Amino acid sequence: QAATMRLNENILLLGKKVVLVPYTSEHVPRYHEWMKSEELQRLTASEPLTLEQEYSMQQSWREDADKCTFIVMDAEKWQAQPRTTEESCMAGDVNLFLTDPGEPSLGEIEVMIAEPSCRGKGFGTEAVLMMMSYGVTKLGLTKFEAKIGQGNEPSIRMFRKLHFEQVAVSSVFQEVTLRLTVTEHERQWLLEQTSHVEEKRYRDGLSESR
C-alpha cells in the first residue's frame, strides 16, 4: 500500500477549474515565494524554509511512501495557447498523508489556495474532491480527516460543505479535526462530482496529449 503513494509521479488530473500535477522541482521557486507569507504560514501551520530546504522538501515528499502531493494549477491559464510557463499557472497545493500505519484506509487531507486572486472561485473545492476521488479509487481510502486552525473559518466551511463533520477540538493545538467516512452513498456522490475529471500522462511539465 505505502509504495502506491508514488503512483502520481507521472500523471496529471484534468478538472474544470483546476489541473492537479505532481510537485516537481520546477514548482519550488513559486512555492517558496508563497510560503514567505506569514498569513499562509499561520493558516497552514508551517515553518518558513530557505529555498534550499524547500528543494529538499520537494525531493523528500516525492520519495515519501506515506504522502501524495499535487500542485493545483489554474486550468484556464494552464490550457491557454500559446502556453505560458507552468510556474505562472500555479494556484496552490493539495496533499494526502497516510498518518496512521494501523489505519491504512485513513488519509489526512490538506489544501492551500495560495494565490489570493485564485481564492473563492471553487478551486479549493474541486481540488479536494479530485484528491478524495483519487484517494478512494487509487489508494483504497475510506476515511478522510482535515485538521484546521480554529480561526480558519473559510477552510472549515469548505470542508463542511464537502460533507466533513467535526469530530474533535484540540485546545492545545487550537485546531479542529473534521472527518468524512466514505459510505457507499458518499462514494457515489464523490464519483459523480468528479466524473468529468480526466487522467493523463505528465512528463516534464507537459501533458503528452497536447
Ligand X SMILES: CC(C)(COP(=O)(O)OP(=O)(O)OC[C@H]1O[C@@H](n2cnc3c(N)ncnc32)[C@H](O)[C@@H]1OP(=O)(O)O)[C@@H](O)C(=O)NCCC(=O)NCCS
Give the interface with ligand X as residue ranges (CB under 6 A): 40, 43-44, 92, 110-113, 119-125, 148, 152-155, 157-158, 161
- Residue with nearest beta carbon to ligand X: 124
For 31-37, the CB contacts below 8 A with 24+ separation are 31/58, 31/71, 31/90, 31/93, 31/114, 34/92, 34/112, 34/114, 34/115, 37/114
* Cβ neighbourhood burial of 192 (10 Å; 0-12, 13-18, 19+): exposed
Nearer to ligand X, 43 or 206 (CB): 43
Shortest gap between Cβ of 62 and ligand X (angstroms)?
A: 22
Shortest gap between Cβ of 120 and ligand X (angstroms)?
A: 5
Nearer to ligand X, 31 or 123 (CB): 123
Nearer to ligand X, 34 or 83 (CB): 34
User: Whole-angstrom Cα distance, residue 114 to residue 164?
Assistant: 22
User: Whole-angstrom Cα distance, residue 162 to residue 156?
Assistant: 10
Nearer to ligand X, 196 or 203 (CB): 196
